[in-house]
Structure 1
Amino acid sequence: MYQPRHFAMTDEDAMMAVVRAYPFATLVTDGDQGVCIDHLPLMVEQTSQGALVLRGHIARANALWRLGEGEGERADAAAIEAVAIFHGPDAYISPGWYPDKHRHGRVVPTWNYQVVHAHGRLAFQRESDWLTSHLTSLVDRFEAGREAPWAVDDAPEDYLEGMRRGIVGVELEVTRLVGKHKASQHKPQEEREGIREGLRGDGRSACDAAVLCGDQQR
């Protein structure tokens, strides 16, 4: 990823905040058939050894997990390098929002965005207990706050077992995080204020507008 110094994210906590806030990731792997791209939510967990792990699942019909096919219930694929890409807020930035547009007109549009790449080693899980724990964590997070949250236990066990047989767990042990926050940080404050107001006028939330005009990372 092209990484100008003034756009580089160096704070791991800030990068992890993006991963948690935007969990629907693009997972990129390079296998025998070439580059493979999948899209799935990934939950952040920390192992007892302190390793950072991203966990999700794919359909058993997805050939991706065959990259790590091996003996037993757990098929390790330690040699498989992968990257999970997490996309934060992004927006087209209109030159009409810049004060200099009215002064001399020498302005052009740009696109501001935030993104984090989680590099790591990929493994796959087929054990029923692992899948149940993962699915419970996933559902509990996204059902939280609902008036009548759905729980995994609400479905009949025989139905759940059939559904579990149709998926394979994905586990990415993170070895490196690379983040980029392009938000006009190198521009004058009045230009950034113009971007903030323009984004709010376009209906963006106050939080997104603050991120995309460089006032905060997340």
Structure 2
Amino acid sequence: MFLPAVHAETDTAVLLQFIRENPLGILITGISSSEQDFLQCSHVPFVLDLPDESGDAGPQGRLRAHIAKQNPQVKAMIEAVENKPPSVLEFDDEVLVLFNGKHDHYVTPKFYVETKPDTGKVIYGKLSLLYDSKIPETDAFLTKQLHDLSEHTERSTMGYIGGDKPQPWKVNDAPDRYIEIMKRNVVGIEIRINKIEGKFKMSQEKPPGDRDGVVKGFESLGTETGEAISALVKARGELYDAKRQEVKNE
């Protein structure tokens, strides 16, 4: 990932919070296979475990997900480890997971002529595959994964938190047979984070006049995306100015 210093976000806590707020990632792998393409990617909603939330999440945290066994990417994974015991199988090579922000937009030259704002986060890590639900360890992983992902999306994405709003749907609301069949048809994915990188390319390095033009330009669109980008450009610009001032005062 190309990370110019002016756009790079080096605060790991900020990057991890971004993933919590934007859990739909793109899992990218390169696996030699006799039948599947070498390069594969899948859009996957991830659960993020922070280092201090679980004793086995690793020093930099962990991503958890589940993917359908019929996915060509999963078929390539299973082929790569088919001669190994069907338990928790770790791949030798790293995988890449890309997370993007919810909003993106073309920037008209009427705002300014340079680059357009965007955000992106990537994680590099070692992937472990859990694909036989008959094994207790795999079954426990999938049970927890389905529960945690449901809780996160029901509460954070749908806003179902109870009280004046609807109660969140729970996996236990589904029939046991349905859950059992579902676990048979998916594999568990666990990625221990080795490195996390991210950037906010939101015009923060531009002169105040240019930044103000972008803020007002997007705000004038009157759309949800326009308002979100306008607010982010303003916030990242203020943060950039504050950091520059700190450097001057040192």
TM-score range, shorter chain: 0.7 to 0.9
1:97 aligned counterpart, secondary structure: coil
Per the alignment, residue 45 of structure 1 pairs with: 49
Whole-Å separation in 1 of the counterparts to 2:57 and 2:41 = 28
Q: TM-score, normalised on structure 2? A: 0.76
After TM superposition, the runs of 4+ consecutive aligned structure 1 residues lying more than 4 A away are: none
Helix, strand or coil: the match of 1:133?
helix
In the alignment, does 2:203 pair up with 1:209?
Answer: no
Structure 1 portions without partners, runs of 5+ = 99-107
Paired positions, count? 207
Q: Distance in 1 between matches of 2:111 and 2:226?
A: 17
- Matched residues, percent identical? 29
Q: Distance in 2 between matches of 1:50 and 1:150?
A: 26
Structure 1 pair 188/216, CA: closer, same or farther in 2 (3 Å)? Answer: closer
Q: Which runs of 5+ in 2 are unaligned?
A: 132-137, 161-165, 240-250
Aligned to 2:98: 85
How many Å separate the matches in 2 of 1:64 and 1:55?
A: 19
Give the aligned partner of residue 115 of structure 2: 110
Greater strand share, 1 or 2? 1
TM-score (norm 1): 0.86
Match of 2:67 among 58, 63, 67: 58
Contact 1:8 1:181 in 2 (8 A): yes
> In the alignment, is the contact (CA less than 8 A) between 1:124 and 1:170 conserved in 2?
yes
> What does 1:56-205 align with in structure 2 at a 5 Å threshold?
56-62=65-71, 63-66=75-78, 67-69=80-82, 70-74=84-88, 76-88=89-101, 89-98=103-112, 108=113, 110-126=115-131, 127-144=138-155, 145-146=159-160, 147-202=166-221, 203=223, 204=225
CA RMSD of aligned residues (A): 2.0
Q: 1:36 aligns with which of 36, 40, 52?
A: 40
Structure 1 residues 131 and 53 mapped into 2: Cα distance closer, same or farther (>3 Å)?
A: same
Give the secondary-structure state (helix, strand or coil) at the position aligned to 1:128.
helix
Who is 1:11 aligned against? Answer: 11
